[in-house]
A = this chain, B = another copy of it.
Amino acid sequence: MATVEELKLRVRELENELIKCKQKQSAMDNAHNQEQHRPKIDKMSSEVVDSNPYSRLMALKRMGIVKDYEKIRTFTVAVVGVGGVGSVTAEMLTRCGIGKLILFDYDKVELANMNRLFFQPHQAGLSKVEAAEHTLRNINPDVSFETHNYNITTMDNFAHFMERISFGGLEEGKPVDLILSCVDNFEARMAINTACNELGQIWMESGVSENAVSGHIQLIIPGETACFACAPPLIVAANIDEKTLKREGVCAASLPTTMGVVAGILVQNVLKYLLKFGTVSHYLGYNAMKDFFPTMAMKANPQCNDRYCRIQQEEYKKKEAERPKVEVVEEEEEEIVHEDNDWGIEVVSEVTDMELEAASGVVPDLPEGITVAYTIPAENTASGETVGETEQSLEELMAQMRKL
């Protein structure tokens, strides 16, 4: 049997071991906590010190680019789809110090997503919105986050989605300032379109092709520019053999480069729109094979199948009529309007009339490099990227869309 001295020695040993163990745990905890947070910052400062995360953004004021950069903290942006484009979009807005982000996605992080930016292997299995919120909060704790782990296209979720974009602004009860569509399928785009037409909510659409080498962004102002139901969705022609595009499986190709460029031009357009600088693009395409970036604009279609779109068009006409005629035109590009154009497509890009005429082949009146997207899903096949090319006429596509 152990003596009192032996037991005392054992107690001392154990006490020492326990102290060491707790010290190590505390160090690990500290390291973990450091990983979690930088302190919140109450007021954006222009001070040029290494410890100021906003100095390089506030410098945009000194450079004469943005008049009131701090205003970014008052805006709420909803990002629908937190995949290859949406996650990078959310990260850029977070780093720019946006006021509030509302993220919608129902997918889980998988190792198969690791060929695009943002998510990391240790997050595999987590929901995308949960993993994204964790990373984004570490990057910038000054941003407010709200996440919804559901599919917006089901009836109940759509109602909740409508509720959140109507009342989920930074000041609860106010609407969001902008919705960004970063989804990969037709149904989700149509759901956003329907919601935004009903609410008169401005939104931006984005997309990347199945072959990973083209993409686009589009600004949609209900009643003013073409909505997603006004005209067949447009994509950037990839100029590759169409036969190879016909999908054998549902696995689309993707590249971090194309996704990064599309997220970059999308958020740049968001910043220009919210902070009022430069020219906000109505449509900007990206053809990675040729490094070609077509731009254009489309007016709303008076025969649009979406009732709320037509109502918004009436409201817009009224507002336009009431506006005083003398107004300051800020840095707007000249618009070339093609009068003989069923879809009211206006070319506002560097593409000349001659180039446009040369490009007017199968699909008339679309600028070079832009073609209609083949985004109508074939009878409920598995979800997924369905953007491709088609040689169908606009009329055929519109007829198909109206059937939906």
Question: A residues within 8 Å of B by Cβ?
Answer: 1-2, 4, 7-8, 10-11, 14-15, 17-18, 21-22, 24-25, 28, 32, 34-38, 48-57, 59-60, 62-65, 88, 91-92, 95-97, 110-112, 114-117, 120-122, 124, 138-140, 210-213, 240-241, 244-245, 248-258, 260-261, 263-265, 267-269, 271-272, 277-279, 281, 284, 288-293, 295, 333, 350-352, 354-355, 368
Contact = CB atoms under 8 A, between A and B. Distances in A.
A376 B279 CA distance: 30
Given A7-B4, A65-B212, A284 B278 contact: no
A402 B67 CA distance: 40
Given A51-B111, A255-B271, A261-B268, A35 B122 contact: yes
Given A25-B28, A256-B96, A290-B278, A115 B35 contact: no
Contact of A115 (B56, B110, B284): B56
A115 B139 contact: no
Given A38-B124, A48-B250, A63-B253, 17 more contacts: A2-B8, A7-B11, A21-B21, A24-B25, A37-B121, A38-B111, A49-B112, A51-B124, A59-B212, A60-B211, A63-B240, A63-B245, A92-B117, A268-B291, A272-B289, A278-B288, A352-B352
B57 A253 contact: yes
Contacts of A264: 256-258, 260-261, 264
